[in-house]
A and B are shown apart, each in its own frame.
Chain A
C-alpha cells in the first residue's frame, strides 16, 4: 500500500465531508432558526418519535397502525388477557369495569357507562388498549392482537358482527351507539346563586340526608 495512493483518497474524503457539511448547514440552521434557546434540547429524530408516537385519534382513527385482527381471534386473546378483570362476558369482575351492556341506562338511576352504551368512538378503544392494557402488562400486545381484541369487544356489544375483521381503514368507520351523546364544550356557569346575607330562607332548614354517620362506609374513623 503506497502513501501516494492514500493521500488523494483522504483528500477526497475531506472534500466529501465538506460537501456534506455544506448540505447539512441549511438544515441545521433551519432547525435553530426562530429558537430563542437553541442550545437547549435538540431535534427529535424520526426514529425517536416513531417509538413514542402511539396515540390514535378517536374521531377519525388518525395514528392507527397497519394491521388487522378478527373478532374470532380476539375471543381467545380476550380470555387470556382481559377476562380476569373484565369478566368472561365483559360483565366486569368485582369492581373492575364492565365493558358490555348498559344500553338505555344513561337516564336511569343506575347509569352503566360501557363501551357499548357510552363510548363515542371506536378508535379510542384501540388507543386505550394499546397504551394501558392489559392492566399489569401494558405495551405487550401487537397491533394485530390489539385489533383482534377491539373487534371482539365491539362484537360482544353487538356493534360489529362476530365475523368482523378490523384494520386501520375499517375501525374508524365503526359507528358507536352513543356517538352523538356528548356535548362538546362547557356550558358552565350553569347554576346561578344569590349571595343573600340575612333572612335568606323562607322556611326552616330540613335535613334531607344524614345517612353518612350510619352507613359505615367511611374508613379509618378513630372514634368508631
Chain B
C-alpha cells in the first residue's frame, strides 16, 4: 500500500515538473499576441478575455485540478452562481413563513435539481433526526400503528417523476403583470423523482375502518402543518416519500418523510409528515379555510380545490434571458397538468392569432413537467410570445381574460392562464398581459 502511494506521489511530482512554468506561459502569451496582430477580432477578444481562447491553450489545461477528495458532495460550477432560488421580500412578514422560487428560466429538461426546488414553509425548516422521527397512523383504523424510518424504508417501494406546484404560482398576477421575471411569475413549481412507499400500502396495514372518508396529514414542523385529504386520493396514488432525485429528501423539502400527492396543490403534499389520522369528514383547518381557498367575485370561496390544472410557460426567452441580436433561437418552455399527461403545447408569436404545435421531449409523463421546444428565427421585430398547454382530458389552458371572467381577480390561487412575453426590437423581454 505504502509503495503504491509513493508511486502515485512520484508520478504527480513528475507531472508537476512537466507543467509549464510561469515564464513558459508568458512565452505562449507573447506568441498569441503576435498572432493577434494578424488575426481577426475573435483572437483579440480571446486574449482580452484571459488568453484562454484558441489558438492559445487555456490556463486550466496547464495545471492539475482538484482531486477526488476535494468535494465529497459536489456543487455547481462557480460560474453558475446566478442559478439560485430567490424570494420576494415584500411578499411575507417573515422568512420562516414564506416562499421562494425555482429558477426555472435557467433550467433544461424536466428534472429540477433538489437544491433549486422552491421552498414553502409555515414555521421554518425543522432539523429532524431520522432516528427519532416517527409516523403514526390512527383514527378510523382497525390497528393504530407507529413506524420508524427503518420500517418505512423496508416496505415495497415505488418511484415516480412528478411535478409539485404551489397553487399560488402566478397568484401575484391576477390583476396585471407585476413581476419582471419568469422565476417570479412561474417559479413555484418543481419536478423531481420521488421514492417511497405507497400510502395505500401503509393504510392497508392499519386497516381502514368502514366509514372513513378523509385523512388528516400533519407535519413535524413548528407549524405542525395540517391538511385534510380525501381517502380516495390517498388510496389512489399518494406516496409517503423518503427520497428525492435518488438521495434522501432535502431538509427543506420534508426530510426525512413527506407526502407526495400527484397533481394536487403543493400544500397538501405535507412535509416532515409525522401523523396520519383517518376520519369521516375533513378537518377544516386553517390551511384549508383561511388559506388555500379561492375567493370568487360574489364573496363566496371555493374550498378543497385540489387539482393543479394544465399550465405552461416559455422559459426562454423571458425577462431574465433577453435575445442577443437577430438570428437562430429555440423557444423553450415547460408544461404540466395535474389531471394527467400533456397532449400538446402550442406556441404563438403574435399574441394568440396563430399557433404552431411545439415538439414535446420524451418522456411525456402523467403529472410531470414536460419540456417543449420550437425553432425560431428572430428577424428583430416585436413579438408576443405565448404557450398554450392541452392535456389528455381535453382541457385547454385558458387566457387570463377567460379566467378572470369566471373567477374575478381576488382568488389568489390556481391562476394557470396563458402567459405573454413581449419581445422588443432591442431583444429585451417584458412581462405583459394582453386582451
CB within 8 Å of B: which residues of A?
31, 34-37, 40-45, 48-49, 52-59, 85, 94-97, 106-107, 109, 111, 113, 115, 118-121, 124, 127-128, 131-132, 135, 138-139, 181-201, 204-213, 215, 217-223
Report the separation of the CA atoms of residues A45 and B430 in the bound assembly, to the nearest whole angstrom: 59
The answer to whether B351 and A205 have CB atoms under 8 Å apart is: yes
Which segment, of B57-65, B352-360, B368-376, faces chain A? B352-360
When C-beta atoms are compared, the residue in chain B nearest to A92 turns out to be B93
The answer to whether A191 and B354 have CB atoms under 8 Å apart is: no
The answer to whether A106 and B295 have CB atoms under 8 Å apart is: yes
Question: Smallest distance from the beta carbon of B435 to chain A beta carbons, Å?
Answer: 5
Cβ of A131: which chain B residues have Cβ within 8 Å of it? 223-224, 226
Question: Smallest distance from the beta carbon of B259 to chain A beta carbons, Å?
Answer: 16
Report the separation of the CA atoms of residues A120 and B381 in the bound assembly, to the nearest whole angstrom: 53
Question: Smallest distance from the beta carbon of A97 to chain B beta carbons, Å?
Answer: 8
The answer to whether A138 and B307 have CB atoms under 8 Å apart is: no
The answer to whether A95 and B92 have CB atoms under 8 Å apart is: yes
Cβ of A85: which chain B residues have Cβ within 8 Å of it? 93
Cβ of B155: which chain A residues have Cβ within 8 Å of it? 37, 40
The answer to whether A211 and B177 have CB atoms under 8 Å apart is: yes
The answer to whether B289 and A119 have CB atoms under 8 Å apart is: yes
Which segment, of B11-19, B22-30, B44-52, B279-287, faces chain A? B279-287
Interface residues on B, range: 35 or more
Cβ of B286: which chain A residues have Cβ within 8 Å of it? 124, 127-128, 132
Question: Smallest distance from the beta carbon of A120 to chain B beta carbons, Å?
Answer: 6
The answer to whether A213 and B431 have CB atoms under 8 Å apart is: yes
Cβ of A34: which chain B residues have Cβ within 8 Å of it? 142-143, 207
Cβ of A223: which chain B residues have Cβ within 8 Å of it? 322
Type the 1/0 row for B315-346, where 1 means its CB is closer than 8 Å to any CB of A: 00001101000000000000000000000101
Is B218 part of the contact surface with A, judged by Cβ < 8 Å? yes
Question: Smallest distance from the beta carbon of B156 to chain A beta carbons, Å?
Answer: 8
The 14 sampled A-B contact pairs (Cβ below 8 Å) are A35-B205, A43-B144, A44-B144, A55-B277, A124-B284, A132-B223, A181-B300, A185-B304, A195-B390, A197-B355, A197-B356, A204-B351, A209-B176, A218-B179
When C-beta atoms are compared, the residue in chain B nearest to A182 turns out to be B303
Cβ of A193: which chain B residues have Cβ within 8 Å of it? 388, 396-399, 402
Cβ of B136: which chain A residues have Cβ within 8 Å of it? 44, 48-49, 52
Partner of A40, one of B205, B279, B289, B414: B205
Report the separation of the CA atoms of residues A135 and B175 in the bound assembly, to the nearest whole angstrom: 31
The answer to whether A124 and B354 have CB atoms under 8 Å apart is: no
The answer to whether B177 and A219 have CB atoms under 8 Å apart is: no
Which segment, of B80-88, B108-116, B247-255, faces chain A? B80-88
Cβ of A120: which chain B residues have Cβ within 8 Å of it? 284, 289
The answer to whether A58 and B223 have CB atoms under 8 Å apart is: no
The answer to whether A213 and B181 have CB atoms under 8 Å apart is: no
- Most interface-central of A35, A85, A97, A213 (chain B CB within 10 A): A213
The answer to whether A207 and B355 have CB atoms under 8 Å apart is: no
| Contacting residues of chain B (192-247) with chain A, CB-CB under 8 angstroms | 204-205, 207, 216, 218, 222-226
Given A48-B136, A124-B285, also A209-B433 (CB < 8 A): yes
Question: Smallest distance from the beta carbon of A112 to chain B beta carbons, Å?
Answer: 11
Is B21 part of the contact surface with A, judged by Cβ < 8 Å? no
Is B20 part of the contact surface with A, judged by Cβ < 8 Å? no
When C-beta atoms are compared, the residue in chain A nearest to B397 turns out to be A193
Cβ of A210: which chain B residues have Cβ within 8 Å of it? 177, 422, 430-433
Question: Smallest distance from the beta carbon of B162 to chain A beta carbons, Å?
Answer: 20
Is B53 part of the contact surface with A, judged by Cβ < 8 Å? no
Partner of A36, one of B205, B344, B430: B205
The answer to whether B410 and A111 have CB atoms under 8 Å apart is: yes
When C-beta atoms are compared, the residue in chain A nearest to B388 turns out to be A195
Partner of B284, one of A59, A135, A198: A59
The answer to whether A186 and B306 have CB atoms under 8 Å apart is: yes
- Most interface-central of B143, B225, B422 (chain A CB within 10 A): B143
**Interface pairs A-B: 8 shortest CB-CB:** A58-B284, A205-B351, A209-B176, A131-B224, A106-B299, A95-B93, A44-B146, A209-B433
The answer to whether B205 and A205 have CB atoms under 8 Å apart is: no
Is B180 part of the contact surface with A, judged by Cβ < 8 Å? yes
Q: A59-B281, A96-B93, A217-B88 are in contact. List 8 more A-B contacts (CB 8 A).
A: A40-B147, A40-B151, A52-B136, A95-B92, A183-B303, A196-B355, A200-B352, A209-B176
Cβ of A115: which chain B residues have Cβ within 8 Å of it? 290
Question: Smallest distance from the beta carbon of B206 to chain A beta carbons, Å?
Answer: 9
Is B157 part of the contact surface with A, judged by Cβ < 8 Å? no
Cβ of A37: which chain B residues have Cβ within 8 Å of it? 154-155, 205
Cβ of A55: which chain B residues have Cβ within 8 Å of it? 216, 218, 226, 277, 283, 285
Report the separation of the CA atoms of residues A204 and B277 in the bound assembly, to the nearest whole angstrom: 55
When C-beta atoms are compared, the residue in chain A nearest to B301 turns out to be A182
Question: Smallest distance from the beta carbon of A155 to chain B beta carbons, Å?
Answer: 19
Question: Smallest distance from the beta carbon of B265 to chain A beta carbons, Å?
Answer: 11
The answer to whether A208 and B406 have CB atoms under 8 Å apart is: no
The answer to whether A40 and B284 have CB atoms under 8 Å apart is: no
Report the separation of the CA atoms of residues A7 and B297 in the bound assembly, to the nearest whole angstrom: 84
Report the separation of the CA atoms of residues A135 and B98 in the bound assembly, to the nearest whole angstrom: 13
Report the separation of the CA atoms of residues A218 and B184 in the bound assembly, to the nearest whole angstrom: 8
Report the separation of the CA atoms of residues A56 and B435 in the bound assembly, to the nearest whole angstrom: 47
The answer to whether A199 and B395 have CB atoms under 8 Å apart is: no
Cβ of A209: which chain B residues have Cβ within 8 Å of it? 175-177, 432-433
Cβ of B86: which chain A residues have Cβ within 8 Å of it? 219-220
The answer to whether B305 and A36 have CB atoms under 8 Å apart is: no
Question: Smallest distance from the beta carbon of B187 to chain A beta carbons, Å?
Answer: 12
Cβ of B353: which chain A residues have Cβ within 8 Å of it? 199-201, 204-205
